[in-house]
Each structure stands twice: as structure tokens, then as C-alpha cells.
Amino acid sequence: MISAVRWGQSAYETNADLQREQERLSALGIDLIRVSSADVPPSEVEVMVVNSGVSVDESLIGSLKALRLVVTTTSGSDHVDLHAAQRAKVQVARCPLARRDAVVDTSIAMGLALLRQLPSFQRAAQEGKWVRGELPSRAPRTIRGLPVGVIGAGVIGKQAIRQWEALGAQVSFHDPHVDGSVGLRALMHQSAIVTLHCDLNPSSRALINSETLAWMPEGSLLVNTARGACVDLEAVLAARQLGGFALDVFADEPPAQLARLAEGHNVVLTPHAAGFHPAMAEQVCEELVDVLSAWLGGRELPGGLV
């Protein structure tokens, strides 16, 4: 049996969900034990399954001499020290598929809401204003032919590209690791909507800042369902050329300036909710089983290695 630990339980996961996960992995020959955040994983552990609330740092990796694989049940992996894992020859995998469709659905819904200025109309209605006569000046736009820029073309970003194209948008993307990528400046300059689907790493931290926002055209829109630290919030608030923005993630959650951010006339803010759906725990379990089954069989992992 492979020795494994499940470290961390997310709010959407019940004890019954984790029990089912344990049983499914046992059938693969993986002896999975659950440990709390206050516990220390046993030194002989070979596989560690974590969520975003667990920091897998250099010290922890160094203390687990038998560790061969870390699997995060999340889409992102910024809570894992990837350099330390690489030095220790520990592989790192993630589970992006369980959240992929929900994240893309949310990001597109946000983009469409901004495009059609729904938050602005709602705010006017709450103030008792009937603004139908302002439609020519407000000029809500349509999708067909709309230039959309996607930052990050991984599992989630590729799905976003497919979905936007299916709606009739003209999509370009920026991802230095994927063929066909356009430069960031060109993407920002030509896009009516820029939507982020990248991971958080040194090159993407504060990628959206005062300089890169200045490349965006007047009235353009920004959507972030990726990682909060990819966006400089103060720069967004100061970017007068933006016609609106939608944020699901924040560097600090909850953000201290939430009410201030919400003051904008065409703004959508959600509480890191883009990936959630009622079947998420079940789908995370299925994906985890698929990942570990592929790993044991020496096959390519469904979400790839980080």
C-alpha cells in the first residue's frame, strides 16, 4: 500500500465526502489517512493531498523524506513551494477540472454583465432612475466580433477561449508557454474585455498594474477569476479608461476595501465563488482518483504536472 495523507478539509467537503474519497483511494492501493492542520504528517508519507489552506513549504517538504507526490485539490498551486519540490524530486499535481466549467461560466457571465452594463442599470434602478433614454450614450455592446483577450491558456483558459469563440467573440490569448500567444501589450491594447485565467507566479504577480492598464482602450473591461494578487487593486481604481471590472478573487480575503471597490458604476464583485457548484466535492473526489490512478500507472495526469 502507498502511504498517503489528506491534509485539510474545505468548507464544501463533508466527512462523508472524505470517507468516500478514502474508500475510493484504498481500492487503488493507497492507504489515505486524514490529518488536521494541527498535526504533523508521518515522515514515511509518500503522497500528500492538500487544499489551499495548507502551506507546503520547503521545511515541510524537507522533513518528509519519502514524499514523492503532492496533489492539491485546487486549481492553483501557489500554496506549494514548487522550487523546493523540484529540488527534492517531488512531483506536484492539481485538480483544475472539477472547477473549470464553473469558473469559465462565471467569468463569461461577469464579462457579459459588464458588456451589457447590467450593474450600472441595476444601480440606477435602485436610485429610482429610468435610464432608457441614456442607452445611446451608454452604448451597451454585443459579443459577436468582440475582441476578447484571455490571459493564461491552461486547462481553464483554454476552455474560456473555446466558450468565448462559441459565442462569436474574436479571441486572442497571452501565455508564454503556449504556441500562438500574443504579446501582453498587444493583447491589452486590442481587447474590449481582458479576462484572467493564469496561475500566480513571480511573472504574473501584479501583472495588471498601472502600466499594463494604460495599454487598454477607453471603455475596456477587466475580469479576474484567477488569483487576486495578479491584479493591483489601487491601479484598477485609478484606471479611468476602464468601462468596468469584475473581480472574484482578492490578494487579501475578504478585502478591506470591498465597499470602496463596489462604488463603481459598472462593477461586479463576488466572494471567491467562481469555482463553486453543488457537485464540487464529488467531482474533486473523481478527479483526485483519476490523478492518482494515472500517477500509479505511469500515465499522463489529467490536469498535468505543475
In the prediction, which pLDDT does 221 show? 98
All domains of the chain, ordered by start, with CATH?
2-94+278-296 (3.40.50.720), 99-269 (3.40.50.720)
Compute the average pLDDT of residues 217-224: 97
pLDDT tier at 305, thresholds 50, 70, 90: confident
| Cell numbers representing residue 296 in the block | 500509479
Residue 137 main-chain phi, psi, to 5 deg: -80, -35
pLDDT in tens, 16-27: 999 999 999 999
Instruction: With a cut of 80, say whether residue 7 has pLDDT above it.
Output: yes
In the prediction, which pLDDT does 35 show? 85
Cell 464579462 belongs to which residue? 111
| Cell numbers representing residue 21 in the block | 474519497
In the prediction, which pLDDT does 37 show? 65
Compute the average pLDDT of residues 95-102: 95
* Percent of all residues in the chain with a pLDDT value above 90, rounded to a whole number: 89
In the prediction, which pLDDT does 154 show? 94
Cα-based distances in Å from 4 to 38, 96, 101, 265:
17, 21, 29, 50
Compute the average pLDDT of residues 67-81: 93
Q: How far is Cα 130 from Cα 150, in angstroms, rounded to an integer?
A: 34
In the prediction, which pLDDT does 38 show? 64
Dihedral angle computed from the Cα positions of residues 48, 51, 55 and 57, in that order, rounded to the nearest 10 degrees? 40
Average pLDDT of the residues of the chain: 94
pLDDT in tens, 153-177: 999 999 999 999 999 999 999 999 9
Q: How far is Cα 230 from Cα 171, in angstroms, rounded to an integer?
A: 21
Residue 296: DSSP 8-state: H
In the prediction, which pLDDT does 128 show? 97
Q: How far is Cα 242 from Cα 268, in angstroms, rounded to an integer?
A: 13
Q: How far is Cα 197 from Cα 265, in angstroms, rounded to an integer?
A: 24
Compute the average pLDDT of residues 276-293: 96
Compute the average pLDDT of residues 235-264: 95
pLDDT tier at 111, thresholds 50, 70, 90: very high
Q: In 195-217, which positions are buried (b, 16+ CB within 10 angstroms) versus exposed (e)?
A: bbbbbbeeebeebbbeebbebbe
For 193, the enclosing helix (H) or strand (E) is strand 193-196
Amino acid making up residue 110: M
Which pTM was predicted? 0.93
